[in-house]
């Protein structure tokens, strides 16, 4: 590899603002969202168009230089952290909305569009782009697709994959795959689009996408529920899904410890019940008609009658809805404020959630007495953020040093429950060894063959997703 020549060529491939090498200018691109991983890079490239991305890839391919794509850099598993000798390819300057088509119900956007901007562009034509997550003000659509993001509305609308119809991708050697199709149905051969979605920058660089738009609900009905038990959470879910309006779009589990932390440590968060129940559920429906509120009230009345519910707060105004959502989002903020926490984003079949939580909590308590699980999130999808905080009195460094066996316990149990070690955050850098440990050898072999076929020199996000051979 001739690094000096490569850098000269890279500098020439973009404009002055597109090539950063000074340490203070590249610093923000070297660290991940939680500040736990710190990378290094030869340079940061900020292309303005697909042709510039293609030129950058051709140069890196020729010189064997690793390329780490970055969108908003909000990822949770170190997928966007570069290593020495690699470049960061930041898509942030490619943020045009290329087209909105209300008849096809599609929006065509460049990879660097911030998710909230895509949502706003959809709303401007009275449509919904339903992907929604806590980082939506800073994550970018290329990153959302590359990590197949989930979030708060998956229950009704699916993950990023289900919301994408077509892609434009620059391949490892700089060729461009023009797959910006707007079709709902296409069985003409293997699905290349789905291969790139969720590949975390290891198979190609997503430069643009055609996304699905949906009817925009004019009304939402939101409530915080206090289920009578964890098993009742599932009964409530089943009841809610059978209700009108296609069922709820959000059904989020909130444990007492997490609501307490949010109420104590996050500005604007207030405990909703006089006495917090062990588990709460934040539920939200959307519909075009106002009847949705009556529907929710009827649903809750039936659930009280059936003994599934001990208490409930129905939001009476937009401000009250926002306050309930603030509590949900406050959990992540509170954990950050409280120091070290060990993040997990597991999934098990929905029906097995209560047994999984019970067994996992008891296994962890035996392994590290006093460890505090914050089990929250997208329970309607069977996806739990099983975050662990240290036992009272244990310092962060000792806790993190003792972390690997706790993670293995949770991952082993998720596997035993026919689940996944990563339901939405991906593998990145942090979970490669666990992927190799827990996915069957045949699946790993197939993944490697795909990687070798699309990136024979291994320049795309080296060391991420698949562990070194
Ligand atoms: P980045 O972090 O920049 O990149 C993520 C991965 O994709 C990296 O491997 C990177 O190399 C690759 N990549 C980025 N852009 C491209 C591209 N154009 N082409 C190819 N590869 C690319 N995630 C969820 O799924 N659900 C949640 O509910 C959720 N909530 C969150 C809440 C908070 C407060 C935060 C901070 C994060 C949350 N996340 C969540 C994680 C994160 O926001 C998502 O994974 C998001 O989709 C990442 O988008 P990004 O643009 O920041 O990607
Ligand atoms: C969430 O659902 O809030 C996030 O996925 C959790 C996180 O980012 O840690
Ligand atoms: Zn999540």
Same domain, 183 and 112: yes
pLDDT tens figures, 49-76: 999 999 999 999 999 999 999 999 999 9
Ligand 3 centre to CA of 377 (Å) is 6
Q: Is the dihedral of CA 192, 197, 202, 205 positive or negative?
A: positive
The reported pLDDT for the residue numbered 36 is 84
Residues with CB under 6 A from ligand 2: 76, 134, 332, 343, 377, 385
Atom of ligand 1 nearest to the CA of 426: 45
Burial 292-315 (b: 16+ CB within 10 A, else e): bbebbeebbeebeeeebbebbbbb
**How many domains would you assign to the chain?**
3
Same domain, 279 and 348: yes
Q: Is the CB of 250 under 6 A from ligand 1?
A: no
The secondary structure of 297-322 as a DSSP string is HHHHHHHHHTT-EEEEEE--SHHHHH
The reported pLDDT for the residue numbered 271 is 87
Q: Summarize the confidence of residues 216-239 as an average pLDDT.
A: 97
pLDDT tens figures, 116-148: 999 999 999 999 999 999 999 999 999 999 999
Report how far residue 452's alpha carbon sits from residue 46's, in angstroms, rounded to the nearest whole number: 27
Answer yes or no: is 390 within a domain: yes
Ligand 1 pocket, mutate which of 76, 81, 147 (most atoms under 8 A from CB):
147
Q: Is the CB of 227 under 6 A from ligand 1?
A: no
Same domain, 370 and 391: yes
Answer yes or no: is 452 within a domain: no
* H helix runs in 161-229, sequence order: 192-196
Instruction: Find out whether 123 and 216 touch, Cβ atoms under 8 Å.
Output: yes
Same domain, 144 and 63: no
* H helix runs in 189-277, sequence order: 192-196, 230-242, 256-265
Same domain, 251 and 368: yes
Which of the four pLDDT bands, split at 50, 70 and 90, describes residue 435? very high
What is the number of alpha carbons within 13 Å of residue 210 lying toward its C-beta?
Answer: 18
Q: Among 417, 433, 456, give the residue marking a domain's end.
A: 417
Same domain, 66 and 53: yes
**What is the widest separation between alpha-carbon atoms in the chain?**
74
Percent of the chain surpassing pLDDT 90:
93
Which of the four pLDDT bands, split at 50, 70 and 90, describes residue 156? very high
Q: Is the CB of 424 under 6 A from ligand 1?
A: yes
Same domain, 172 and 30: no
Cα–Cα nearest to 370, from 338, 393, 346: 393
Answer yes or no: is 454 within a domain: no
Atom of ligand 2 nearest to the CA of 76: 8
Q: What is the pTM of this model?
A: 0.98
Q: Among 41, 56, 90, give the residue marking a domain's end.
A: 90
Helix (H, G, I), strand (E, B) or coil at 394: coil
Residue nearest to atom 5 of ligand 2 (CA): 151
Report how far residue 415's alpha carbon sits from residue 54's, in angstroms, rounded to the nearest whole number: 40
Cα–Cα nearest to 60, from 172, 142, 170, 169: 172
Answer yes or no: is 457 within a domain: no
The reported pLDDT for the residue numbered 126 is 96
Atom of ligand 1 nearest to the CA of 464: 9
Ligand 1 pocket, mutate which of 37, 53, 74 (most atoms under 8 A from CB):
74
Cα–Cα nearest to 173, from 456, 435, 468, 369: 456
Answer yes or no: is 449 within a domain: no
Q: What is the domain-level CATH number for residue 265?
A: 3.30.70.2190
Q: What is the domain-level CATH number for residue 178?
A: 3.30.465.10
Q: What is the domain-level CATH number for residue 12?
A: 3.30.43.10
Q: Among 163, 197, 215, give the residue marking a domain's end.
A: 215
Please determine, for residue 349, whether its predicted confidence score (pLDDT) is greater than 80: yes
Report how far residue 293's alpha carbon sits from residue 185's, in angstroms, rounded to the nearest whole number: 35
The reported pLDDT for the residue numbered 1 is 67
Ligand 2 centre to CA of 106 (Å) is 27
Q: Which two tokens stand for residue 190?
A: 């293997």
Domain residues for the domain of 367 are 219-417
What HEC string does 328-342 produce? HHHHHHHHHHCCCCE
Ligand 2 centre to CA of 145 (Å) is 16
Residue nearest to atom 28 of ligand 1 (CA): 151
Q: How many Cβ atoms from other residues are within 10 Å of residue 73's Cβ? A: 22
- H/E stretch holding 128: strand 127-128
Instruction: Find out whether 63 and 105 touch, Cβ atoms under 8 Å.
Output: no
Q: Summarize the confidence of residues 328-354 as an average pLDDT.
A: 95
Same domain, 210 and 248: no
Atom of ligand 1 nearest to the CA of 70: 3
Q: Summarize the confidence of residues 400-408 as an average pLDDT.
A: 95
Distances (CA, A) of 91 to 46, 105, 112: 6, 25, 5
The reported pLDDT for the residue numbered 245 is 72
ipTM strictly over 0.90? yes
Q: Is the CB of 143 under 6 A from ligand 1?
A: yes
Angle of the 256-265 helix axis to the 318-337 helix axis, nearest 10? 90
pLDDT tens figures, 171-215: 999 999 999 999 999 999 999 999 999 999 999 999 999 999 999
Q: Is the CB of 132 under 6 A from ligand 1?
A: no
Report how far residue 433's alpha carbon sits from residue 444's, in angstroms, rounded to the nearest whole number: 12
Which of the four pLDDT bands, split at 50, 70 and 90, describes residue 33? confident
- H/E stretch holding 255: strand 250-255
Same domain, 277 and 371: yes
Atom of ligand 2 nearest to the CA of 377: 2
The reported pLDDT for the residue numbered 187 is 96
Atom of ligand 1 nearest to the CA of 79: 9
Ligand 1 centre to CA of 370 (Å) is 32
Q: Is the CB of 78 under 6 A from ligand 1?
A: no
Answer yes or no: is 453 within a domain: no
Same domain, 178 and 325: no
pLDDT tens figures, 285-325: 999 877 788 999 999 999 999 999 999 999 999 999 999 99
Ligand 2 pocket, mutate which of 79, 332, 373, 375 (most atoms under 8 A from CB):
332
Answer yes or no: is 19 within a domain: yes
Answer yes or no: is 433 within a domain: no
Ligand 2 pocket, mutate which of 345, 428, 431 (most atoms under 8 A from CB):
345
Q: Is the CB of 378 under 6 A from ligand 1?
A: no
Report how far residue 388's alpha carbon sits from residue 375's, in angstroms, rounded to the nearest whole number: 8
Same domain, 75 and 110: no
Average pLDDT, the chain: 96
Same domain, 264 and 410: yes
Q: Roughly how many angstroms between the first and final C-alpha of the chain, as a whole number?
A: 21
Percent of the chain surpassing pLDDT 70:
100
Cα–Cα nearest to 99, from 209, 199, 5: 209
Distances (CA, A) of 448 to 78, 428, 442, 458: 20, 15, 10, 11
Triad 111, 116, 118: Cα angle to 5°: 55
Distances (CA, A) of 159 to 47, 168, 249, 270: 28, 19, 12, 30
Report how far residue 302's alpha carbon sits from residue 75's, in angstroms, rounded to the nearest whole number: 40
């Amino acid at each position: 590899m001739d690094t000096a020549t490569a850098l000269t060529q890279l500098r020439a491939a973009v404009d002055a603002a597109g090539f950063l090498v000074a340490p203070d200018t590249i610093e923000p691109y070297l660290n991940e969202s939680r500040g736990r991983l710190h990378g290094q890079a030869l340079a940061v490239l900020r292309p303005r168009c697909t042709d510039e991305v293609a030129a950058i890839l051709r140069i890196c391919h020729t010189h064997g230089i690793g390329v780490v794509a970055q969108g908003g850099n909000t990822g949770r598993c170190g997928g966007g952290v570069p290593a020495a000798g690699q470049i960061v390819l930041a898509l942030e300057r490619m943020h045009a909305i290329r087209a909105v088509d209300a008849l096809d119900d599609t929006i065509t956007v460049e990879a660097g569009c911030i998710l909230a901007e895509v949502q706003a562009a959809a709303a401007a034509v009275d449509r919904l782009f339903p992907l929604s997550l806590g980082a939506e003000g800073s994550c970018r659509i290329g990153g959302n697709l590359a990590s197949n993001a989930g979030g708060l509305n998956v229950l009704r609308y699916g993950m990023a994959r289900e919301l994408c119809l077509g892609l434009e991708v620059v391949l490892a050697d700089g060729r461009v795959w023009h797959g910006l199709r707007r079709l709902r149905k296409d069985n003409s051969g293997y699905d290349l689009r789905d291969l790139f979605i969720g590949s975390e920058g290891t198979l190609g660089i997503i430069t643009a996408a055609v996304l699905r738009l949906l009817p925009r609900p004019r009304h939402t009905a939101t409530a915080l529920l206090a289920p009578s038990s964890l098993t009742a959470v599932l009964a409530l879910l089943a009841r809610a899904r059978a209700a009108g309006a296609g069922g709820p779009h959000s059904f989020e589990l909130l444990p007492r410890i997490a609501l307490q932390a949010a109420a104590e440590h996050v500005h604007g968060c207030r405990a909703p019940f006089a006495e917090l129940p062990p588990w709460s559920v934040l539920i939200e429906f959307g519909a075009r008609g106002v009847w949705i509120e009556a529907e929710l009230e009827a649903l809750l009345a039936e659930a009280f009658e059936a003994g599934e519910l001990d208490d409930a707060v129905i939001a009476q105004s937009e401000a009250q809805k926002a306050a309930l959502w603030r509590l949900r989002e406050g959990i992540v903020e509170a954990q950050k404020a409280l120091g070290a926490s060990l993040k997990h984003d597991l999934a098990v079949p929905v029906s097995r959630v209560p047994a999984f939580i019970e067994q996992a909590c008891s296994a962890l308590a035996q392994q590290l007495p006093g460890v505090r699980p914050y089990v929250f999130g997208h329970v309607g999808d069977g996806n739990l953020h099983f975050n662990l905080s240290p036992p009272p009195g244990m310092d962060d460094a000792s806790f993190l040093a003792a972390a690997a066996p706790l993670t293995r316990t949770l991952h082993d149990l998720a596997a035993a429950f026919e689940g996944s070690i990563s339901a939405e955050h991906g593998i990145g850098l942090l979970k490669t060894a666990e992927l190799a440990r827990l996915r069957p050898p045949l699946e790993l072999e197939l993944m490697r063959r795909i990687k070798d076929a699309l990136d024979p020199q291994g320049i795309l996000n080296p060391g991420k997703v698949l562990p070194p051979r």
